[in-house]
Structure 1
Amino acid sequence: MASVIDTARADPPESSEELPLRRRLIRFGGSRLGGLILVLNLASLLILLGGALALNEWRTGLVEARQESLLGQAELLSKVLSDEDYTRGEPVPELNRDQSAKVLIDRFVPQGQRARIFDRDGVLLVDSFDVSDTIEGEPLPPARPAGTPAPPDTGTDKAADTLETANIALEDEILAALAGDPQTTVRRSENGERVVSVSLPIRHVQQVLGVLTLEANDVDQILDAQRRALIPFALVALAVNLLASLLLHLFVARPVMRLSAAADQVRLQRARAISLPDLEDRRDEIGDLARSLESMTDTLSTRMDAIERFAADVSHEIKNPLTSIRSALETLDLVQDKDKRDRLTAVLQQDVRRLDRLITDISNASRLDAELSRDRPRPVDLSALLTDIVGVYETTSKPGEAPVTLELAVDGAARVMGRDGPLGQVFRNLIDNARSFSPAGATVRVSVIRDDVDALPLHVRVEDDGPGIPSENLETVFERFYTSRPRGAAFGSNSGLGLSIVRQIVEAHGGRVTAANRLDASGAILGALFEVALPAVGRRV
C-alpha cells in the first residue's frame, strides 16, 4: 500500500559534539530557543530589579542627605542662640523669646523647612511659620452644583488621630533632645506629611536652655518624583515581557498547535505522514521536533506497508502447503493402491512439517521487532560470542555435516553495542545457511577482522564451499520467503526467512550485511561469502 504523501526523510539532528564552537556559544544548555527566552526574561527582571534598587538607594540617600543638611543648619543656629545676646536672667539664664524670633527672621530658613524653638520645659517659644509670611494651606475642593448636599466629613477623626500621633512623636523627640542628645528622625507632621526632623539642645556653657527643631517636608515630593522616574523602567520591562510572550506564542505555541493538528490528521488517517516544510527548516527545537515527527510518521507508514506486504507473503506461503494438503486429502480416498497411498501420506507429512516450520519462522520474525525494542543494548564481545556458538556446533555436529571453524584476526576484544541474543541468531542463521549449501567434506569458515578505515570497523565473515549465489540474486536472497536450494535438498525444510531475519537484526544494530561469491584466479565460483559489518563500542548505534 503506497503512501499518499511523498515526504523526504529528514536528516538526523546534529549531536552536541558535532556542533561548531560558534553555534554552541550562542546556545544555552544546547538550546538556541531556550537561550533567547532566558535572555529576554532576565532582561525584564534586571530592568525591574535595577529600578527598584535605584529607588531604594535614592530614598535612603535622600533621607540621609536631608538629615545631614538639617543637622548642619541646626548646629549653626544653636550656636547662635546659645550666645548671651539671646539669653536673659541671672544667675539662671533662659532663652529670650523676642531675640530668638529675630534669629528665625534674620537667618535664612529655606522654603519647605520649618524651625521651632522650645524652652527647657518643652514649651514652644518661636515657630518660623508664625514669624514669617509662610501660610500653610490646602487646595479648595471642586465646586459643587447648587443644591447638591455636602459630602459627609469623614476626615475629621483621621486628622485628629494624625495630629495626636504627630504631637506625641514631636514631644518624645524634644524630651530626648532636652536630655542632651541630638535627635534625627523621620516622622509624620500635623498634616500627615513625612518630615525629616533634627532636634539639637541649645546650651549656654553646659546648661541646656532649650531645643531647636528643624524639619523638612519635601521628602515625599522628591520620592514621588523618583517613583515617577521609575515608570519608564516599568514600561520598558512590560514591553520586554510582552515581546517575550509574543515570541513564545509565534515561535513555540503556534508551531506546536500546527504539529498537533498534523498529528491528528495522521491519526484520523487523512494522511500517512506529517509534512510541514516551513517548520522543518527551522534550526531550533521546534524544527527538530517537526523533523522527528515527520521521520517517525514516515517510518510508521513504511512499517505499515511492510506489514501489509508481509501479511500478503505469509498468506501466499501458507496457501501453498494447505493447497497441497487439501489436494492430497481429496485424492487419498480415491487411491486404492497401497504404495500410492503411502506416497500421498508422505506428501501430507512433508507438507505438515513444512507448514509447522513456516509458522514457527513467521512467529519468530513477527516477534523480532518487539524483542529488539525491549532489550536494552549493552557491550557484546563478538569474539567470545562466536567462540561459544562455534563450540556448540563442534560438540553437536553429526556425521556428514560440514564442520565449522573460527579465526579471530583481531587484537583484544571485538566489542559492539548490541543484544547478544539477536546477534547470536544472526550468526547461527548464517552458519546454518552455509552448512545447508556445503557439499560433503566441505568446511564452513567463520572469521572476525577489523577494518579501521571503514565506518563500521568490525567485520564477521561466513564462507562456504557451496555452489555460490547467482549474481542477479545477491540482494534477492535477503528478501522474505526467497529460497533457492541445491538439487537434492529436502523440500520444505527452509522457509526463506532466515536471511531476511539476519538483515533485519543487523540493520537494527546500525550495521550492514552483504552477500558475495568467492572466486578463484580464473573467475570460477568457489563458494558463497556473507559479511556482517558492525560499529565498534564508542560509535553510535
Structure 2
Amino acid sequence: MASVTDTAKPDSRTAPSKPARLRQSWWLRWLPGSRLGRTIIALNVLGLAILIGGALVLNELRRGLVGARIDSLTTQGELIVNVINRAATVGEPTPQLDAGAASEILQILSNPRSQRARLFDARGRLIADSYWVADRVEWKVLPPARAREDAGGLSLDLNMGRPPPPPAAGAAQRTLAIEVSQAMRGAPVVGMRTAEDGERVVSVSIPIQHVQAVLGVLTLEASDVDEIIAAERAALAPFIMIAITVSILSSVLLNNLIAQPVRRLSKAADGVRLSRARAISLPDLARRDDELGDLTRSLEDMTQALSERMDAIERFAADVAHEIKNPLTSLRSAVETLDLVSDPAARDRLLAILKNDVQRLDRLVTDISNASRLDAELSREDVRALDLGRLIGEVAQLYQDTRRKGEPGVVFRVADTLEPIMVAGREGPLGQLFRNLIDNARSFSPPGGEVRVSLEPVRGEAIVLIEDDGPGIPVDNLETVFERFYTSRPKGSAFGGNSGLGLSIARQIAAAQGGTVRAENRSDGDGKVAGARFIVTLPEARR
C-alpha cells in the first residue's frame, strides 16, 4: 500500500552507492538508452533470440537431413541401375530390359521398409515394385458399404474388388509419371512429392542407360520425410517452451518493475488529492536507481515544496490579518471617539490619526498586493543576461530626478571594468529589489543625507553595496529585519510609515535569482556605528 503523509520524510532519497549501481547494471551498459529501457530491450530480445536461434539451427538441420536422404537414395539407385544394366540387359544390336531378371535383382537388393523401389520399362510401364518383392500389400480403410436392397430385402455389397483410389492417388500417379518421363530423357530427377497415400516422399528417378539408349527408369522413394519433420518439431518444442517461459518471466518482471510502481504512484497522488495531505512518501521506490526512482523523488520533492509553499501562504495570511487589524482597530477607535469630542484641537488630532491610519492601511494593502504577485512575476518573466550596472544606474538616476528638497540623494558608483557586469535574471524583479533596499536606506538617512550604491565583480559574482548614514541596525536584528512585517524604527520617527515587507521581498527576489542579501553595520574610525550596509550578491551570467 502507498503511504501518504505530511510529516518529515525518512532519509530514503539517498541514491545507491556507485558500486551498487555498477553491480545492478554492468551487464546492460553496452545497450543504448536508459537503464530501465536497456532492461526492457534485453529481456524481450532474449526470448526472441532463443526462438529464432533454435528455428535457424533446426531449419539448417532439416535441409541437411533431406539432402543426406537424397544423396543416399541416389547412391543406392546408381548401384542398382549399374547392376540391372549389366545383368538384365539383353538383345543385340537393339538392347532391351529383361523384366524377370530386373525383378530378381530388386528381390536380391532388397530395400528398407521405409523405401520403395519401382522399375519402369522404356515405355513407362511398371514392371517391378519393391512392395511386390517384399510381399507387402497396400491396405486402406474401406469406405462404408453402400446399402442396396434386393428383392429378398437383403442388403449386400457385391463390389468384391479394391475400392477406387482416392482423388489424391490419381494426382500422385500423374506426378510420378511426369518424373519418370523426365528421367527418360537421360538425366536423373530428384525432389519431393506426394505419394499415393498422401505422405510426402523424397524421390530419386535414375535412367537405365545402355550406351545412349534409355532402357528404363528406376525410382526410389523414402517415405520417412514426415517422421523427420515430426522429429524436428519435437526438437523445436524445448526452444519454444524456453522462449515462452522467458517471455512470461519478463512480462511478470516488467509488471513488477514498472506497472505496479506506477500504480502505487498514482494511488499516492490520488491519496494526496482526496485526503488533502501535503506530501507523497514512498521510500522504497525513492531508493531505486532508475527512472521510476527519479520520478518518485521528483514527486516527493514537488509535493514537499508545495507543502512548504502552502505553509508559507498560511503564515502570510495570518500575518496579513494581524497587520491589517491594527490600523482598522485604530480607525474604529478614532471614529467612535470623534463624535464624543467637541474640542476643535482634539478633533483635529483625531482626524490626523484617521488620515494616518488610512495612509498606513493603503500602503500596507499595496505592499501585500506586491508581495502576493511576486511569485507570479518571477515565474512569468524569462531569465536573460542583464547589464547590472545599467539597471542600477537607471534606478539611481530616477531617484535623483524625482528628489525633493531635504530628501537624501542617491549616488551610484561602478567599478572600472573593460566589460559590463552581466547577471542572469529578470529585469523587473531585480529593479524592485534595489528600489526596496534604497527606499529602506533613504528612510533611515538624515535629511539632506546620501545613500551610496556601488557595484563590483568578485570571483564570478556581482557584489552590490547599499550604504546609508542612519543609526544602523541592532546586532540582534540583523536577520530579523528580513522577516515579513518586521519594523524597527528609531525614536521620533512616524509610526506606520513602513509596512515591514520591503526587505522580505528583497531577500525573496534575490533568492529567486540565485543570490543572497544580508545586512551589517558600518563603523567609523572610532569604532562607532556610522550607518547600515546591505550586501547583495548575484551570480554573473556565463559568457
Residue matched to 2:147: none
2:531 match: secondary structure: strand
CA distance in 2, matches of 1:339, 1:458: 54
1:39 maps to a residue whose letter is A
- Residue 451 of structure 1: aligned partner: 459
Structure-1 separation of matches of 2:511 and 2:433: 11
Aligned equivalent of 1:128? 130
Residue 47 of structure 2: aligned partner: 44
- Does residue 424 in structure 1 map to residue 427 in structure 2? no
Rounded Cα–Cα distance in structure 2 between residues aligned with 1:107 and 1:139: 31
Q: Which residue of 1 aligns with 2:167?
A: 161
Write out per-residue CA displacement over residues 92-141 of structure 1, whole angstroms, 9 at most, x where no aligned residue. 4332222222332333634422222222322222222222255666899x
TM-score (norm 2): 0.83
With over 3 angstroms needed to count, the CA separation of the structure-2 counterparts of 1:86 and 1:8, relative to structure 1, is same
Residue 229 of structure 1 pairs with residue 229 of structure 2: no
Q: Within 5 A, what are the aligned runs for 1:199-278?
A: 199-269=205-275, 271-278=277-284
Q: 52-61 vs 25-34, which deviates more?
A: 25-34
Provide the rounded CA distance (Å) in 2 between the counterparts of 1:417 and 1:157.
100
1:113 aligns with 2:115: yes
**How big is the shift at 1:476?**
0.9
After superposition, where does 1:314-463 map in structure 2 within 5 Å? Answer: 314-399=320-405, 400-408=407-415, 412=419, 414-439=421-446, 440-452=448-460, 457-463=461-467
SS in 1 for 2:409: coil
> Mapping of 1:455-494 within 5 angstroms?
457-487=461-491, 489-494=493-498
Indicate the larger mover: 298-307 or 278-287.
Answer: 278-287
- Out of 247-256 and 209-218, give the one that drifted further: 247-256
Deviation at 1:317, TM superposition (A): 0.9
1:528 pairs with 2:532: yes
Q: Secondary structure at the match of 1:443?
A: strand
Aligned residue identity for 2:412: T
User: In the TM superposition, what is the alpha-carbon distance from 1:259 to its structure 2 partner?
Assistant: 3.1
Deviation of 1:351 (Å): 2.0
Q: SS state of the match for residue 124, structure 2?
A: coil
| Alignment partners' CA distance in 1, 2:174 and 2:348 | 127
Contact 1:5 / 1:271 at 8 angstroms: preserved in 2? no
Please say which of residues 306-315 and 201-210 is displaced more in the overlay.
201-210
Distance 1:527 1:468 in 2: 4
Contact persistence 1:444–1:462 (CA under 8 A) = yes
* Counterpart Cα distance in 2 of 1:507 and 1:216: 89
- 1:255, CA displacement in angstroms? 3.0
Partner of 2:157: none
Alpha-carbon shift at residue 190 of structure 1 (Å): 1.5
* Structure 1 segment 17-36 matched on structure 2, within 5 A: 26=28, 31-36=34-39
List alignment gaps of at least 5 residues for structure 2: 143-161
Tell me: CA distance 1:52–1:533, structure 2 relative to 1, closer, same or farther (3 Å): farther
For residues 430 and 124 of structure 2, what CA distance do their matches in structure 1 show? Answer: 103
Maintained 8 Å contact 1:409/1:447: no
Alpha-carbon offset, residue 252 of structure 1:
2.9
CA contact (8 A) 1:202 1:210 kept: yes
8 Å contact kept, 1:10–1:294? no
- Which stretches of structure 1, 4 residues or more, deviate above 6 A after TM superposition? 19-24, 137-140, 156-159
Partner of 1:54: 57
> Does the 8 Å contact 2:410/2:452 carry over to 1?
yes
Matching residue of 1:93: 95
Residue 282 of structure 1 aligns to a residue whose secondary structure is coil
After superposition, give the CA deviation of every residue in 1:330-357 in whole Å (9 maximum; x if it has no partner).
Answer: 2333333444433333332322222222
Kept in 1, the 8 Å contact 2:14–2:287? The answer is no
Quick check: 1:517 aligned with 2:524? no
Question: What is the correspondence of 1:277-316 to structure 2 with a 5 Å cutoff?
Answer: 277-316=283-322
Q: Distance in 2 between matches of 1:134 and 1:409?
A: 117
In structure 2, what residue type is equivalent to 1:130? W
Name the SS of the counterpart of 2:191 in structure 1. Answer: strand
The structure number with the bigger radius of gyration is: 2
Deviation of 1:497 after TM superposition, in Å, equals: 1.3
Q: 1:97 to 1:295 in 2, by over 3 A?
A: same
| Counterpart Cα distance in 1 of 2:335 and 2:288 | 66
Task: Please report how far the alpha carbon of residue 227 of structure 1 lies from its aligned counterpart in structure 2 after TM superposition.
Answer: 1.4
Quick check: 2:286–2:297 contact (8 Å CA) kept in 1? yes
Give the drift of 1:211. 2.2
Q: Deviations over 1:405-426 (max 9, x none)?
A: 1324666454444333223322
1:5 partnered with 2:7: yes
Secondary structure in 1 matching 2:166: helix
Code of the aligned partner of 1:332: L
Distance 1:77-1:509 versus aligned 2 partners, 3 A rule: farther
Query: Aligned partners of 1:377 and 1:157: how far apart in 2?
Result: 96
Deviations 1:207-263 (A, max 9, x none): 222222222222221221121112221222222222222222333333333333333
Change in CA separation of 1:533 and 1:127 when aligned onto 2, cut-off 3 Å: farther
Letter in 1 for 2:449: G
Output the CA distance in 2 between the equivalents of 1:213 and 1:411: 102
Which residues of structure 1 form unaligned runs of 5+? 141-155
Residue 215 and residue 6 in structure 1: after superposition, are their counterparts in 2 closer, same or farther (change >3 A)? Answer: same
**8 A contact 1:115–1:128 mirrored in 2:** yes
Conserved 8 A contact 2:13-2:287: no
**8 Å contact 1:9–1:295 — kept in the other structure?**
no
* Normalised TM-score (structure 1): 0.84
1:25-54, CA deviations, whole angstroms, 9 ceiling, x for partnerless residues?
Answer: 655666433332322222111111211222
Inter-partner Cα distance in structure 2 for 1:370 and 1:256: 32
Structure 2 contact 15–289 (Cα < 8 Å) conserved? no
2:21–2:289 CA contact under 8 A, matched in 1: no
Q: In the alignment, what sits opposite 1:63? A: 66
Matches of 1:287 and 1:243, distance apart in 2? 22
CA positional deviation for 1:166: 1.8
The residue identity in structure 2 corresponding to 1:61 is: G
Alignment partner, residue 104 of structure 2: 102
Residue 24 of structure 1 deviates from its aligned partner by: 8.1
Aligned length in residues: 514
Aligned residue number for residue 149 of structure 2: none
Which residue does the alignment assign to 1:187? 193
